[in-house]
Structure 1
Amino acid sequence: MNVHTGRQPTAAEAALVDTFAERMGELPGDGEVISARDNAVEALKQRGLPSRRVEAWHYTDLRTLLRAIPGFDPAAGSNALNAVIPGSAVATVSNGVALAAPQVEGVSFAKVSEQLANGSLIRDLAIRDGDDAIGQINAAYVTDGWSLVFAEGTELAAPVELQNTQLRGQSHVRFPVQFGKGVKATIIERQSGGEGEGFSTSVSNVAIADDAEITWIILREHGPDAAQLAQFIATLGTNAKLTLYVVNAGGKLIRQEVHVLVKGEGSDFQLRGVNLLAGDSHTDVTMTLGHLVENTTSVQVVRNVVTDRARGVFQGQIKVNRIAQKTDARMACNTLLLSDDGEFDAKPELEIFADDVACGHGATVTEIDANHLFYLKARGIPENEARGLLIKAFVAEIIEELEDEQLVEALEAILEKWLAAHI
């Protein structure tokens, strides 16, 4: 094995490469799929895991942080969880295996394992670039997931919840989703894990056609010993609107990538992020956004709460194409730092090649305002409760932008649970 020429492979790198030969006979797909898996493993073998020398991974030295990888545990499956929103259609992947599909008018469900077996998912296995460690690992090992197609004009009264549950061990899943013209829908992507040591990857490939309005919410609640590498990849058509919420409230090592291409005029992309970081966890949200045509808009707002020895990262890169005049793109990252040992790194970037645009970015880091805290304590509120109220106000501002009251209540419940455990 020749990972990182001149350097010995780490235990994690060796496990990722060596386990592939053992698992190959159990992975779905043949012909082109096997070739794509081989190419992904070879890229991983030659490059190894990215270190801080790789610009996109500068703040998340995966080669150092991912020290070991647990083996696959066929007994680590679980039943579907209760839906976050009652009445939602739930499609579950447990320990890398898709369970029964729900029945939803206007929506077709297919198991990714079946699409891998017949080769119809081959394009999704393409690696983004040489530093795409998440794509490489997932393409090599992906076993299952749910593929969804929304028929043109479909409007859902209740959300579809895509669950990816893992008690321990290792799993790799995908969620390819196509939204037809004029679709209006809410998707809840729920990433959850148990208390055992775990490692997983998850990739969501989303295509949004003209005039569609999609709300996609990623809820992540992993145990303190879990590592997850995830990607959300989306393209937007003409007059399409995507509102993406990313809520990270658990996990030892998390990297959530968001890659969006705005391809249709009149389209709009909104990102709202909430990172609740405690213990000695490391959470990285990295976004790339391409405005490729005229008259498009985007706003990204990320709020972070950091305590204990936790470390967080937000990298946001907006690129405006030369022909993408009249682009309006804005980005803000705001951090509440509650501990002297905590850390948050923000790296906002703008690359603008058009000359008629309105673009801006900013980042702030602060601590709880002593005057605000004194005001609440002076009215008889205990200090811990007062701190919790101020933290909740800091985060709830963007949660309450959602129009669905049930979704707001669900996200606030996650916040309350985290506050009770860590504040």
Structure 2
Amino acid sequence: MNVQTQIKRTAAEDALIEAFSQRETSLPGNAGVREKRSEAVRLLEQGLPNRKVEAWHYTDLRRLLATVPAFDPTATASPKEPLVAGSTVLSVLNGVAAKAEAPEGTVLATFADKLADGSLAALLGPADKDDTVSAINSAFAADGFALDIPAGATLKAPIELQNVHAGGQAHTRFAARVGEGASATVVERQTGDGDALVSSVTHLDVGDGADVLWLIVQEQSEGVSHLGQINVRIGKDAKLTLFVMNAGAKLTRQEVRVVADGEGSEFRLRGVNLLSGQSHCDVTMILDHNAPATVSTEVIRNVVTDRAEGAFQGQIRVARDAQKTDAKMACNTLLLSDEGGFSAKPELEIFADDVACGHGATVTEIEADHLFYLMARGIDEKTARGLLVKAFVAEVIEELENEPVIEALEARLNAWFATHG
């Protein structure tokens, strides 16, 4: 006789399932949306992933997410000043979209309205059995924004999508379509205080010939567990530069899922992870090159202090038809503490025979010769160390070639070093 052992649920797993049963009837959505939510909960009922799940090997969510705070209907959050001056701000406050006018030349709707009529139901639900981030978000997300940038439009000012919370739980969805030949800069801002479980899932469709700079800036307090995901499709001859900065939260899992669908498309990922205290940060990327002559470069820079831990998992998959693919990936880590650590897991799956693909990873400390050079010129040791660390990170920021964005990010970098340097 076969006896199956029932694994006891953790407090966090019980809390998630119980929260859904309490909120299910109040969540927006038609029958199609409700089915997607049920699908997501069925995955959660199987338990949160641990190290035995390959995709979560470096982030034992079952252990790290030990407890889940309850939803707090009394929590109040306010919009933040934009990261880049002059940006149009669209805020989601504690999971509810604030009233906003559509930026000039765009079409805007709330995600709640799109859930109510079922038009975006297909975006919900986990992509596979390991897609816990989307499962949690699909179960609970009630609002956000859906943004449409028409073909040929050129947005002069950045758009900032803010996900702001003040404790409890906050689950948000963003959907954006950039039309053929359009160009735009979008900042996705994750910020908030208190003890919280936050999930944010974004869907971005970059049309043929479009040019997009998309930034994800996560600066949340030490009591936050943040689960983020961005899903991207890139069209023919389109260009997407994605910049990710993690500089907060006790637990961060940021997933990047990209499909280069159009011939001649280009994808650039630049990432900065600033880790301190006992924080844990995991950036996981899956990039599919599905068309010929596509180009991608990924450069991740990490600064690790105290007892912080981090990981970068980067998987590039080149389809049989994606000849002439050029893909390069690098992960560079600066360890400033003997107690901290960072793991890098680059992967290549190549089914085409005419490609140029490569990857690399480095881990180092501050170069003693460089430090001596600065101190020999009258700079004290603390200041010299700070200059070297900031130079290590600023190099990837300067690649963005957008002065207002560069200045804004360097200001955030300086603010972090003022506290943790």
TM-score class, shorter-chain normalisation, is over 0.9
> Which residue does 1:206 correspond to in 2?
204
> Which residue does 2:326 correspond to in 1?
328
Structure 1 runs (4+) deviating above 4 angstroms are none
> Which residue does 1:344 correspond to in 2?
342
Which of 262, 285, 292 is the equivalent residue of 1:287? 285
Q: Contact 2:37 / 2:125 at 8 angstroms: preserved in 1?
A: no
Letter in 1 for 2:37: R
Letter in 1 for 2:181: G
Post-superposition offset of 1:124: 0.5
Partners of 2:401 and 2:73 lie apart in 1 by 40
Partners of 1:251 and 1:221 lie apart in 2 by 7
More off after superposition, 115-124 vs 242-251: 115-124
> Which residue does 1:157 correspond to in 2?
156
Q: How does 1:207-286 map to 2 (within 5 A)?
A: 207-286=205-284
Partners of 2:329 and 2:101 lie apart in 1 by 37
Q: Contact 1:309 / 1:339 at 8 angstroms: preserved in 2?
A: yes
TM-score norm. by structure 1 comes to 0.97
Q: String of CA shifts for 1:226-271, please: whole Å, max 9, x gaps.
A: 0010100000110010000000000100000000000000100000
Partners of 2:402 and 2:154 lie apart in 1 by 15
Post-superposition offset of 1:310: 0.2
> Which residue does 2:141 correspond to in 1?
142
Partners of 1:360 and 1:52 lie apart in 2 by 27
Post-superposition offset of 1:193: 1.0
1:76 aligns with 2:75: yes
Partners of 2:32 and 2:318 lie apart in 1 by 35
Letter in 2 for 1:65: L
Partners of 2:14 and 2:78 lie apart in 1 by 32
Q: String of CA shifts for 1:313-369, please: whole Å, max 9, x gaps.
A: 000000000111100000000000000000000000001111100000000000001
Partners of 2:204 and 2:76 lie apart in 1 by 26
> Which residue does 2:6 correspond to in 1?
6
Q: String of CA shifts for 1:74-122, please: whole Å, max 9, x gaps.
A: 2223221111112111100010000022332221110001111111111
Letter in 2 for 1:123: A
Q: How does 1:406-417 map to 2 (within 5 A)?
A: 406-417=404-415
Letter in 2 for 1:150: I
Post-superposition offset of 1:5: 5.5
Secondary structure of the 2:248 match is coil
Partners of 1:235 and 1:189 lie apart in 2 by 17
Letter in 2 for 1:37: R
Partners of 1:25 and 1:220 lie apart in 2 by 31
Letter in 1 for 2:332: N
Distance 1:298 1:229, change over 3 A: same
Distance 1:122 1:103, change over 3 A: closer
Q: How does 1:97-108 map to 2 (within 5 A)?
A: 97-108=96-107
Q: String of CA shifts for 1:44-72, please: whole Å, max 9, x gaps.
A: 10x21000000000000000000001111
1:19 aligns with 2:19: yes
> Which residue does 1:314 correspond to in 2?
312
Partners of 2:267 and 2:54 lie apart in 1 by 25
Letter in 1 for 2:51: R
Letter in 2 for 1:348: P
> Which residue does 1:40 correspond to in 2?
40
1:29 aligns with 2:29: yes
> Which residue does 2:112 correspond to in 1?
113
1:185 aligns with 2:184: yes
**Runs of at least 5 residues in structure 1 that lack an aligned partner in the other structure:** none
Partners of 1:167 and 1:386 lie apart in 2 by 37
Letter in 2 for 1:294: P
> Which residue does 1:363 correspond to in 2?
361
Q: Contact 1:89 / 1:102 at 8 angstroms: preserved in 2?
A: no
Secondary structure of the 2:186 match is strand
Post-superposition offset of 1:156: 0.7
1:301 aligns with 2:283: no
Secondary structure of the 1:83 match is coil
Secondary structure of the 1:7 match is coil
Percent identical residues: 55
Partners of 1:284 and 1:232 lie apart in 2 by 14
Secondary structure of the 1:420 match is helix
Q: Contact 1:281 / 1:309 at 8 angstroms: preserved in 2?
A: yes
Partners of 1:85 and 1:75 lie apart in 2 by 30
Number of aligned positions between the proteins: 418
Q: Contact 2:274 / 2:302 at 8 angstroms: preserved in 1?
A: yes
Partners of 2:125 and 2:62 lie apart in 1 by 23
Partners of 2:397 and 2:346 lie apart in 1 by 22
Secondary structure of the 2:212 match is strand
Q: Contact 2:39 / 2:125 at 8 angstroms: preserved in 1?
A: no
Letter in 2 for 1:182: G
**Runs of at least 5 residues in structure 2 that lack an aligned partner in the other structure:** none
Secondary structure of the 1:359 match is strand
1:95 aligns with 2:85: no
> Which residue does 2:378 correspond to in 1?
380
Post-superposition offset of 1:187: 0.3
Secondary structure of the 1:354 match is coil
Partners of 1:158 and 1:281 lie apart in 2 by 34
